Each structure stands twice: as structure tokens, then as C-alpha cells.
Amino acid sequence: MIGGAFVGTLPVIFTTAKFMSPKTMVIVSMILMSVCGALFPVVSGPGVLVLSALSGFLRAAPSVLLTVLVLEIKEVGAEHAGTAIGFVYTLGMLGAFIFPPLGNSLASINPGLPFVFWSAMALLSLIGFFFLKKPQTEATRQH
């Protein structure tokens, strides 16, 4: 996954800059990563490698794009940018702190269940993106 993230970050970021909004790319990336994670229990052999590579390819882009999304919110401004980014990443790391042990506790029921749980939590996090304000445009930045 780490190799995929290393290779995938720049192409995904450049594709986003050219063809779609950062918010759309974050949502698409998170949905695809969730699907990959949910499929881990049902694939074997080379399929696991393909899912790992695809998931890793998409993994690093949302964090970079999330920073862009936070900075584009008009009310954040330069004076609150560091606080806003810190707050967003703190909430994200709270999930990274809580969900691994919860998912691992499901492995006693079925070894594939943690992957399904983590994928569901990633999809659940998408709800927050519907509350993001529209980013300011170049026209509104100049006023």
C-alpha cells in the first residue's frame, strides 16, 4: 500500500487539478478504497495484490486534497488555516486511533469482518463532506 501511495499521489493530484474538484476526487477515492477494503475477505492470491496496489494508489490523495479543501473555505482565512487543518487531522486521527482495535475485535467472529468494518467506517466518514462549504473562487478571493 505504501508503494502505491508513493506512486499514486502526484498523478491523482494532477488529474484532480485538471479534470475535477478536490471534493469530488476525495469522495471518489474514499468510495474506491472502501470497495477495495470490503473485497479483501473475498479475494485471494494475485487479487489481494491488485486490491492493495489500487487502494494504496488512492490512499494518499485524500489527505492532500483535504488540506486544499480546508484552505479554500472562505471563513478559514490565513489566520486560522493552521488551526483548521490541525482540527481536521485530529478528528481523522481519532478514527485511526479508535477503529483498528474495534475492527480487530471482530476477527474472532470472522477473519474478514475487520475489513468490512473499516470499509463501512470509511464510507460513513463521507457524510462529513456534505457539510463542507463551497470553496471560494478566484473571483471571490480578489474582493
18-53 pLDDT per residue, tens: 888 888 888 888 888 888 888 989 998 898 888 888
- Strands of the chain (E only): list them: none
C-alpha to C-alpha distance for 31 and 95, rounded to whole angstroms: 17
Radius of gyration, alpha carbons of the chain? 17
Residue type, 105: S
| pTM listed for this prediction | 0.73
Distance (Å, whole) CA 39 – CA 50: 11
Per-residue pLDDT, averaged over 111-139, amounts to 78
The whole-number pLDDT of residue 141 equals 46
